[in-house]
Chains A and B, each alone.
Chain A
């Protein structure tokens, strides 16, 4: 599903973010990526959806070799990956419904398909009753749920989340994590970068720890392992 072979990434300004990583993530896995700030977590994750290209090595996601992937093919590749961010990345001028439908319009689904599927995912994240509201009228947790709904609306095989609970209080974080757990149970691979020790320790899954651009620990049902 996701495979990195001797991946290195050095930014144009000379900063080395990733220095030789080998990793394999199988279909249906739930993986936490942990590490201190600046350890290379974000770069590691960004390379999976080809926001960043590796300087050397190979990355294969969904059978696509990313370093060789032409720019024009990136949009098609992205349609099989959902991405969730700490800051939700919602369009403030669009309603809850429109924000989610947007991802389907982009791939030119029919209006009937869009309506059916958007309501489905909004039900999954528990926001079916707020479809007409604007993001600004909702709480942080609710906004993150819209963002999750958008990431899965096109039924991707992989969902990548970069600190999805970073801006949320503990209780809301658990609600969000339960949604991810549900998504994972439905067969979607989830890769999540996180700083949340509580969640990693109490909802155990595979943990990949990154330090100075290297994988220092990779355990099934691992622990967070850092002091918060």
Chain B
């Protein structure tokens, strides 16, 4: 395509937007409302996902050593554990350390356990971190069979439930987002369809004087793109501003373990990029869908 022709299409798309002022406004509003919904939903989803990942990351396997194991046995076991392909990190926690951790975890009540410092009833342990949180279950099962392993603990029952909840939440979120996007597309394609009905004559004449289908489509393609991009401005501004405000406001107030939010930078930029691309895509899609019907010869 010649640059002159492209400029013509650009000019034409701009002219059409201002000519069909109210319809432009309606389409942009449709994009704005949907993107706002999608955006807010996305922010919530991504943060929930982030929190869920934090929780998941904390899942670990504790492998208690048989007290009868010698130093050599311990080293052999450590080697075996390190060789497991699902395992990311193996750390050794001697029983003294376990006790200090226990006393610390229990706070004031922990002082009662200080008595055990002389005769520690706890066992030496390896702590395994898996590359994928879900792998703790198979890893725990296979490690249980190793020599000098007295017991394996990974929060059985509780961990499975956690994974289930996280998985379900993620799936529901994905389904809802896809549903919202489809609604947006149909909304936009319907609004554009109305403007195109009014321009049926223009398309008809273009076809009569020998315009190729792509020549006819280009201005509509660009129009859809403008509608989508224009429609994404308000959602981006609102979401970016309120996210940084809420982030700064809420973060100091929350001191629950695992619960923190995605940092404003780069999250706000990511979500802005996502919204502008989504806006453009649904605009273009809606526009091309509605023009398609008039281009059948």
Contact = CB atoms under 8 A, between A and B. Distances in A.
Given A89-B204, A91-B201, A93-B19, A106 B297 contact: no
A76 B211 CA distance: 8
A154 B205 contact: no
Contacts of A77: 210
B5 A108 contact: yes
Contact of B207 (A72, A75, A93, A107): A75
B2 A108 contact: yes
Nearest to A89: B205
Contact of A106 (B4, B19, B201, B210): B210
B213 A78 contact: no
A150 interface: yes
Contacts of A110: 4
Given A74-B297, A105-B8, A108-B2, A79 B208 contact: no
B22 to A, nearest CB: 15
Interface in B88-141: none
Contact of A78 (B2, B202, B208): B208
Contact of B209 (A50, A71, A102, A108): A102
A78 B207 CA distance: 8
B163 interface: no
A150 B209 contact: yes
Contacts, number: 53
A4 interface: no
A121 interface: no
Interface residues of B, number: 19
| A-side interface size class | 20 to 34
A103 interface: yes
Contacts of A150: 209
Interface string B205-226: 1111111110100000000000
A77 B209 CA distance: 10
Interface string A43-82: 0000001100000000000000000000110111111000
A89 B19 CA distance: 19
Given A89-B201, A93-B19, A108-B5, A154 B297 contact: no
B210 A78 contact: yes
Interface string A133-157: 0000000000000000010001000
A208 B3 CA distance: 47
B13 to A, nearest CB: 14
Contact of B212 (A49, A75, A83, A89): A75
16 contacts: A74-B297, A75-B207, A75-B210, A75-B211, A78-B210, A79-B209, A83-B208, A89-B204, A89-B205, A89-B208, A102-B206, A106-B209, A106-B210, A106-B211, A106-B215, A107-B210
Interface of B: 2, 4-5, 8, 19, 201-202, 204-213, 215, 297
Given A75-B212, A83-B208, A91-B201, 14 more contacts: A49-B208, A50-B297, A75-B210, A78-B207, A79-B210, A89-B201, A90-B205, A91-B205, A93-B19, A106-B210, A107-B210, A107-B211, A108-B4, A154-B209
Interface of A: 49-50, 71-72, 74-79, 83, 89-91, 93, 102-103, 105-108, 110-111, 150, 154
For the complex of A and B, 3 pairs with smallest distance between CB atoms: A79-B210, A78-B210, A103-B209
